[in-house]
């Protein structure tokens, strides 16, 4: 591809101006200078509009933001302000949502292997319901109820409907061969419904299914909704959640269903299965992906005659693991000139000591690309920061929200002190010529002082 970056890959407020592309009224080159790189930039207006579209399509109290896509206190607060519930998948995500001021009754707890502490915290917080994933989790809830007086837990049961969808095998979660949920095959899910309904430790609220992620065909989402709706009708439960999974365009030319189309398809499928009760969904990627982009600084350009050109940037797989994990594809452009043709083919790579540290395998870039240029990869708002790591001890980037000419840091950049903060320091080595303490001395030195 040699054409300029297409607008449908950019945040909704993106505009070209004298200083290049601006988002939220601020040029990206200015953001790169002010906050450094790598940098995650989110269009706050875009986030809010997508939340509102979801609520308009499905109704109030029928949309839970799947926070695993991107979560910080600012994002949790924004989703709550726009009328969304919060779907969390761990005790850590639950803690962030609570810290953001989201009431427990507006939070749903997921997870295929919740421990005792997570369950206790969820019940103490008064979460809306817990999505139970296995018979072992039922055992755990019933043991806590009997041994510790844990009050009855409102639950939905995660069902594997035998429908798997998504762009990569690793994100197809609804099939029969899945670590998630109770399978419909062999009566396993039916047995789970009976047990939850008869248990004094659980209050059965309904059933839940999620068939996969990055789904670009709404018919696949509808098929999964229809399968779990039939089971919900047969089981006589009152609540039905059909998960998320709606995909986004990562490259020019990809077609994506709208929120309204998704809503119409799953409602039709559920009604066709005889379902007349409440129906809720859990979008994540489709809320945040296009709203965010990553800014990098080009550090080296290596041309290998007859082979390829490598463009190395100051981030990599530590801030975007998806290309290495899922073979995900992205595009790139220069914020200083977003309308420029992109005839140069190059492999955009990170700075990690890893050959697989590839951000874009075959990127289209402007011919005048140079060292020190600011390079942007759009549509990185989902699962970029969420999967970020400190591989090679790189600090994780900052996250900035922009809106109406204002930029605010919502997650600060890590520094080298943060990288050392969790280390347990050992006594310094006195050197080869000094006497060494024996193991008993070291043990004694680590004991707390007594009066």
d(CA 186, CA 183): 8
Q: What is the pLDDT of residue 161?
A: 84
Between these two residues, 375 and 439, which has the higher pLDDT value? 375
Mean pLDDT of 406-427: 93
∠ Cα 54 58 61 (to 5°): 90
What is the mean pLDDT of the segment spanning 45-54? 98
User: 89 near 112, Cβ under 8 Å?
Assistant: no
Residues acting as catalytic residues: 353
- The residue ranking higher by pLDDT, 450 or 50, is 50
pLDDT at 171 over 90: no
- In the predicted model, is pLDDT for residue 19 greater than 90? yes
d(CA 109, CA 26): 37
Q: What is the pLDDT of residue 251?
A: 95
Domain at 44-286, CATH class: alpha beta
274-316 per-position pLDDT tens digit: 999 989 999 999 999 999 999 999 999 999 999 999 999 999 9
Question: Does the pLDDT at position 446 exceed 50?
Answer: no
Per-residue pLDDT of 80-93, as tens digits, reads 999 999 999 999 99
Tell me if 43 sits within 8 A of 291, measured CB to CB: yes
Q: Where are the domains of the chain?
A: 7-42+290-419, 44-286
**Mean pLDDT rounded to a whole number for the chain:** 92
What is d(CA 351, CA 200) in angstroms, rounded to the nearest whole number?
Answer: 55
Rg (the chain; Cα; Å): 25
DSSP string, 45-84: HHHHHHHHHHHHHH-TT-BEEEGGGS--HHHHHHHHHTT-
Report the largest interatomic distance among the alpha carbons of the chain, rounded to a whole angstrom.
82
What pLDDT was estimated at residue 186?
85
- Average pLDDT on 400-421 reads 97
What the block records as the tokens of 226 is 């229809």
pLDDT-derived band at 402 (thresholds 50, 70, 90) equals very high
Give residue 432's pLDDT: 63
pLDDT for 429: 66
387 versus 186: which is more confidently predicted?
387
Q: Which two tokens stand for residue 408?
A: 């605010």
Check residue 164 and give its pLDDT: 54
Among the residue ranges 175-179, 338-342, 438-442, the one predicted with the least confidence is: 438-442
DSSP label at 353? S
Strand partners, 281: 63
What SS3 class is residue 235?
Answer: helix
| pLDDT tens digits along 214-269 | 999 999 899 989 999 999 999 999 999 999 999 999 999 999 999 999 999 999 99
- Both structure tokens of 120: 């206790």
Q: Is 199 left (phi over 0), alpha (psi -120 to 50) or beta?
A: beta
Specify the CATH architecture of the domain 7-42+290-419. Beta Barrel (2.40)
């Amino acid at each position: 591809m040699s054409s300029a970056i297409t607008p449908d890959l950019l945040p909704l407020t993106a505009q070209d101006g004298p200083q290049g592309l601006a988002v939220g009224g601020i040029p990206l080159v200015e953001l790169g200078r002010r906050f450094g790189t790598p940098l995650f930039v989110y269009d706050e207006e875009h986030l809010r509009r997508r939340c509102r579209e979801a609520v308009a399509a499905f109704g109030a109290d029928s949309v839970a933001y799947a926070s695993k896509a991107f979560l910080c206190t600012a994002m949790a607060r924004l989703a709550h302000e726009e009328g969304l519930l919060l779907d969390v998948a761990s005790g850590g995500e639950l803690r962030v949502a609570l810290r953001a001021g989201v009431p427990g009754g507006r939070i749903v707890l997921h997870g295929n292997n919740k421990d005792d502490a997570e369950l206790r915290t969820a019940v103490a917080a008064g979460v809306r319901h817990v999505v139970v994933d296995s018979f072992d989790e039922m055992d755990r809830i019933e043991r806590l109820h009997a041994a510790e007086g844990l009050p009855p837990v409102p639950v939905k049961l995660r069902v594997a409907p035998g429908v798997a969808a998504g762009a990569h095998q690793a994100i197809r979660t609804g099939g029969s061969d899945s670590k998630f949920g109770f399978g419909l095959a062999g009566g396993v899910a039916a047995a789970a419904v009976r047990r939850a309904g008869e248990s004094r430790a659980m209050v059965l609220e309904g059933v839940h299914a999620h068939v996969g992620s990055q789904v670009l065909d709404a018919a696949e989402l509808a098929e999964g909704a229809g399968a779990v709706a039939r089971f919900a009708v047969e089981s006589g439960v009152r609540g039905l959640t059909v998960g998320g999974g709606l995909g986004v365009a990562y490259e020019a030319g990809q077609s994506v269903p709208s929120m309204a189309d998704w809503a119409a398809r799953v409602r039709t499928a559920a009604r066709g299965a005889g379902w007349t009760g409440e129906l809720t969904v859990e979008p994540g990627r489709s809320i945040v992906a296009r709203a965010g982009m990553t800014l990098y600084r080009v550090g080296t350009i290596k041309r290998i005659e007859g082979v390829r050109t490598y463009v190395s940037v100051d981030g990599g797989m530590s801030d975007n693991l998806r290309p290495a994990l899922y073979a995900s594809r992205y595009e790139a452009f220069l914020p200083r000139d977003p309308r420029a043709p992109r005839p140069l083919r190059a492999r955009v790579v990170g700075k990690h000591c890893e050959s697989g540290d590839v951000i874009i395998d075959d990127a289209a870039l402007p011919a005048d690309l140079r060292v020190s240029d600011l390079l942007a990869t759009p549509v990185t708002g989902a699962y970029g920061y969420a999967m970020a790591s400190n591989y090679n001890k790189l600090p994780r980037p900052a996250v900035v929200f922009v809106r109406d000419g204002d930029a605010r840091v919502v997650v600060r950049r890590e520094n080298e002190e943060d990288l050392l903060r969790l280390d347990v320091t050992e006594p310094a080595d006195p050197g080869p010529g000094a006497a060494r303490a024996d193991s008993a001395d070291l043990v004694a030195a680590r004991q707390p002082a007594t009066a």
